[in-house]
C-alpha cells in the first residue's frame, strides 16, 4: 500500500499533466486551439528576433520554440505559461558565449546549445532537491534594477540592426565605444526602414487601443489585437523589402532559413567548455526561473490556481534539455506571450503543445516566406518589447520608500550596465542580503519600565514609568542571531557601565522568536561577565519554542538569575531584592 502510494506520488510529480489530461473536454480544446493559433503567429517573429539577439542563426529561435513547449506542457505546473526564447535570457546567452567564441561561428552555436543543456540540468536538479524557494532570495528592487539595465543594454545592442552598423559587447562601455566609432558608417535605407517600422508599430498599437473600442470591438479583443501589431509591421516590412528589393540596396535580411524540423542529437561538450559555462548556466537558470515563476504566479492567481515552484523547476529544466537536444538555446516563460496565451483563452497546457505544432509547421514548410524579413524590423519588435522592462517608476518609488532600497536598485542597475549582466545578478544577490542583514543587525532595543497601576511595560524614553535604580529591564524587538547578538551585548555593557548601582538585568523576550547558537553563546558570555560584576541576569516572557531550545542546553542552569513567566512577576520579585 505504502509503496503504491509512493509510486503514485512519484508519477504525479513526474507527470503532472495527468490532472488536466483526464478532464480534457471539447471546450478546453476550442480555447486552446484559438490561443495556440494567435501565440504561433506572435512567436514566429519573436523566436527569430531573440535568436538574433543571442547572436545565433534565426532557425535556432524556431527550434527553441517547438520541443521545449511540448515538454513544458507535460511537466510544468502553470496552465497559461508560454515557454520559449526571451529577451533577458537571450542577452545572458550572448554575454556568456561571446567571450569564448565569435558570434555566428559554429563553435558559438555549439556553446549556446551546451548552455541550454547545463541550465536544464541545473533547473532539473534544483527541482528534484525541492529548491523552489531560491526564487525568493532576490529582492524585487534588485531584480527590477537588473531587468531595467538589461533592457537598456538590449536596446543599445539592437542599434546595430536599426542603424545598419556593427555594435558588440555586453555592457554600456564596450557597446558605446563601438557604436560611436561606427556612426559615420550608418546605412540610410536601413535607418529609414527602422524608423518607419517604429512609427508604424507605435501608431498601430495606439490605433487598436483607441479606435477599435469606439467601433464596437470589445476592449478585450482590442488589447489582444494590439499585441498582434508587431506581426502586421513585420509583414508589411517584409513585403516592402521584397517589392523594392531593399536587400540589394544593403538592407540586412534574415535570408535563407533551412527548411525542416531540428535534428535530435546529444549536445557536443568538452570539460573545458563545461568549466567556462557552468557559472553562466547557473545564473541563466535562476534568472529564467525567477522571471518565469513570477509570470506564472500572476496568471495562476487570476484563476485561483496554484503554481508549484518545484514542479516549475522540473518543467523548465526539461524544456531546456529538450531545447539542447533539438538544437535550440536557453528558454524560459516569456511575459508577453504568456499574457497573450492567457487572454486568448488558453485553458490548459495543451495550448502550448498546439503552438509547438504551429511552429513545427512553419519550420517544415513556411520558412521561405521569412526570406525577405529585414533584421531591422525584428530589432524594432525587440526594442518595443523591452522598453516596457525599464521600470523608472520603481526607482522613484524606492527613493521615496527608503534610502536602502534605492541604494539596492541603483547599485544593481549601475553594475549591470557597466560590468555586464553576470556581475549584475551576483552583486544584486549580495546587495539584497547585506542590506537586509544590516537592518536586522541593529535591532531596536528599549529600556522599559512599568506603567503605574498596570502590568504593562513601555520604553522609559516615551512613557512615564516606574523604574528602580538596582534593576534594568531591556526589551529587544528582534529575534537574536549571530549578526545582532553582540549589538545586544555592547548595549548591556554600556548600560551597566553608566549605572553602577545596578544589581539585576532583566531581558524581556516578548519579541524574540528565535535564539541561534551564536546568540546563546553571547547570552552565556553576558551571564559570566555580569556574574563577575555581582549582577544577576534574568529572562522574562520567553516564548514556548525558544524555551524548548534553551532547555536543551546548560544555559538555564548556569543562569545567574531567574526565568520569569511575566515581566510584571519579575519586577514584583526583584524590586525588594538586595
**For binding to its own copies (CB under 8 A), which residues are involved?**
133, 135-141, 297-298, 301-302, 304, 306, 397-398, 400-402, 405, 432-433, 436-444, 477-479, 481-487, 489, 493-494, 496-497, 511, 513-514, 516-518, 520-522, 525, 529, 532-533, 549, 552-553
CB of 201 to its own copies, least distance (A): 29
CB of 474 to its own copies, least distance (A): 16
CB of 363 to its own copies, least distance (A): 38
CB nearer to its own copies: pick between 182 and 549: 549
CB of 145 to its own copies, least distance (A): 11
CB of 310 to its own copies, least distance (A): 12
CB of 328 to its own copies, least distance (A): 30
CB nearer to its own copies: pick between 249 and 306: 306
d(CA 463, CA 459): 6
CB nearer to its own copies: pick between 59 and 422: 422
Range list of H helices, 303-374: 309-325, 335-343, 350-361
Q: Does residue 412 contact residue 145 with C-beta atoms inside 8 Å?
A: yes
CB of 47 to its own copies, least distance (A): 30
CB of 105 to its own copies, least distance (A): 31
Instruction: Find the radius of gyration of the CA atoms of the chain.
Output: 30
CB of 552 to its own copies, least distance (A): 5
d(CA 382, CA 2): 52
CB of 459 to its own copies, least distance (A): 11
- H or E element: which one contains 5? helix 2-14
Contacts of 358 by beta carbon, 8 Å cutoff, 6+ apart:
36, 37, 39, 40, 43
CB nearer to its own copies: pick between 220 and 302: 302
Q: Does residue 472 contact residue 499 with C-beta atoms inside 8 Å?
A: yes
Task: Find the farthest-apart pair of alpha carbons in the chain and give their distance in angstroms, rounded.
Answer: 102
C-alpha dist (Å) from residue 538 to 143, 313, 413: 45, 49, 48
Q: What is the SS3 assignment for 72?
A: helix
CB nearer to its own copies: pick between 139 and 150: 139
CB nearer to its own copies: pick between 420 and 443: 443
Q: What is the SS3 assignment for 390?
A: coil
**Closest C-alpha to 411, from 136, 141, 87, 88:** 141
CB nearer to its own copies: pick between 461 and 532: 532
**∠ CA 70-75-79 to the nearest 5 degrees?**
80
CB nearer to its own copies: pick between 141 and 317: 141
Range list of H helices, 140-260: 140-163, 172-182, 188-214, 219-227, 229-244
d(CA 190, CA 187): 6
CB nearer to its own copies: pick between 552 and 557: 552
CA 456 to chain centre: 45
Write out the three cell numbers for 272: 573545458
d(CA 50, CA 184): 27
Q: Does residue 343 contact residue 222 with C-beta atoms inside 8 Å?
A: no
Write out the three cell numbers for 178: 563601438
CB nearer to its own copies: pick between 57 and 141: 141
Amino acid at each position: 500500500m505504502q509503496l503504491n502510494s509512493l509510486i503514485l506520488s512519484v508519477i504525479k510529480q513526474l507527470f503532472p499533466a495527468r490532472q488536466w489530461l483526464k478532464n480534457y473536454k471539447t471546450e478546453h480544446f476550442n480555447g486552446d486551439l484559438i490561443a495556440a493559433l494567435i501565440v504561433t503567429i506572435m512567436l514566429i517573429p519573436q523566436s527569430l528576433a531573440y535568436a538574433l539577439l543571442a547572436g545565433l542563426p534565426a532557425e535556432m529561435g524556431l527550434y527553441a520554440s517547438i520541443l521545449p513547449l511540448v515538454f513544458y506542457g507535460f511537466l510544468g505546473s502553470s496552465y497559461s505559461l508560454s515557454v520559449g526564447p526571451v529577451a533577458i535570457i537571450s542577452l545572458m546567452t550572448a554575454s556568456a558565449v561571446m567571450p569564448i567564441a565569435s558570434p555566428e561561428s559554429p563553435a558559438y552555436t555549439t556553446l549556446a546549445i551546451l548552455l541550454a543543456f547545463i541550465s536544464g540540468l541545473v533547473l532539473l536538479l534544483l527541482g528534484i532537491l525541492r529548491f523552489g524557494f531560491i526564487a525568493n532570495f532576490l529582492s524585487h528592487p534588485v531584480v527590477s534594477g537588473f531587468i531595467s539595465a538589461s533592457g537598456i543594454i538590449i536596446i543599445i545592442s539592437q542599434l546595430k540592426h536599426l542603424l545598419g552598423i556593427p555594435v558588440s559587447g555586453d555592457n554600456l562601455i564596450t557597446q558605446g565605444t563601438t557604436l560611436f566609432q561606427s556612426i559615420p558608417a550608418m546605412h540610410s535605407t536601413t535607418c529609414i526602414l527602422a524608423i518607419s517600422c517604429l512609427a508604424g508599430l507605435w501608431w498601430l498599437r495606439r490605433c487598436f487601443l483607441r479606435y477599435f473600442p469606439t467601433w464596437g470591438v470589445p476592449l478585450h479583443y482590442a488589447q489582444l489585437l494590439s499585441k498582434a501589431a508587431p506581426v502586421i509591421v513585420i509583414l508589411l516590412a517584409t513585403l516592402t523589402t521584397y517589392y523594392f528589393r531593399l536587400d540589394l540596396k544593403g538592407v540586412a535580411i534574415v535570408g535563407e532559413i533551412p527548411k525542416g524540423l531540428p535534428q535530435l542529437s546529444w549536445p557536443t561538450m568538452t570539460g573545458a567548455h563545461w568549466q567556462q559555462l557552468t557559472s553562466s548556466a547557473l545564473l541563466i537558470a535562476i534568472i529564467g526561473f525567477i522571471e518565469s515563476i513570477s509570470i506564472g504566479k500572476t496568471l495562476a492567481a487570476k484563476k485561483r490556481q496554484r503554481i508549484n515552484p518545484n514542479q516549475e523547476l522540473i518543467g523548465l529544466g526539461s524544456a531546456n534539455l529538450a531545447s539542447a537536444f533539438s538544437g535550440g538555446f536557453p528558454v524560459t516563460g516569456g511575459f508577453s506571450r504568456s499574457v497573450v496565451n492567457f487572454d486568448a483563452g488558453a485553458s490548459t497546457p495543451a495550448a502550448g503543445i498546439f503552438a509547438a505544432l504551429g511552429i513545427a509547421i512553419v519550420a517544415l514548410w513556411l520558412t521561405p516566406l521569412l526570406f525577405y524579413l529585414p533584421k531591422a524590423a525584428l530589432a524594432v519588435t525587440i526594442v518595443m518589447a523591452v522598453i516596457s522592462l525599464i521600470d523608472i517608476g520603481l526607482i522613484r518609488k524606492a527613493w521615496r520608500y527608503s534610502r536602502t532600497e534605492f541604494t539596492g536598485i541603483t547599485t544593481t542597475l549601475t553594475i549591470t550596465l557597466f560590468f555586464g549582466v553576470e556581475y549584475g545578478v551576483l552583486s544584486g544577490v549580495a546587495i539584497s542580503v547585506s542590506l537586509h542583514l544590516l537592518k536586522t543587525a541593529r535591532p531596536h532595543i528599549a529600556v522599559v519600565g512599568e506603567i503605574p497601576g498596570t502590568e504593562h511595560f513601555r520604553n522609559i524614553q516615551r512613557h512615564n514609568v516606574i523604574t528602580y535604580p538596582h534593576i534594568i529591564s531591556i526589551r529587544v524587538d528582534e529575534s537574536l542571531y549571530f549578526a545582532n547578538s553582540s549589538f545586544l551585548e555592547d548595549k548591556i555593557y554600556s548600560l551597566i557601565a553608566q549605572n553602577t548601582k545596578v544589581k539585576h538585568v532583566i531581558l524581556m523576550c516578548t519579541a524574540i522568536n528565535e535564539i541561534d547558537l551564536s546568540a546563546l553563546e553571547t547570552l552565556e558570555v553576558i551571564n559570566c561577565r555580569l556574574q563577575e560584576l555581582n549582577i544577576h541576569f534574568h529572562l522574562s516572557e520567553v516564548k514556548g519554542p525558544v524555551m524548548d531550545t534553551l532547555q536543551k542546553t546548560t544555559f538555564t542552569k548556569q543562569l545567574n538569575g531567574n526565568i520569569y513567566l511575566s515581566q510584571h512577576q519579575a519586577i514584583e520579585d526583584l524590586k525588594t531584592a538586595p
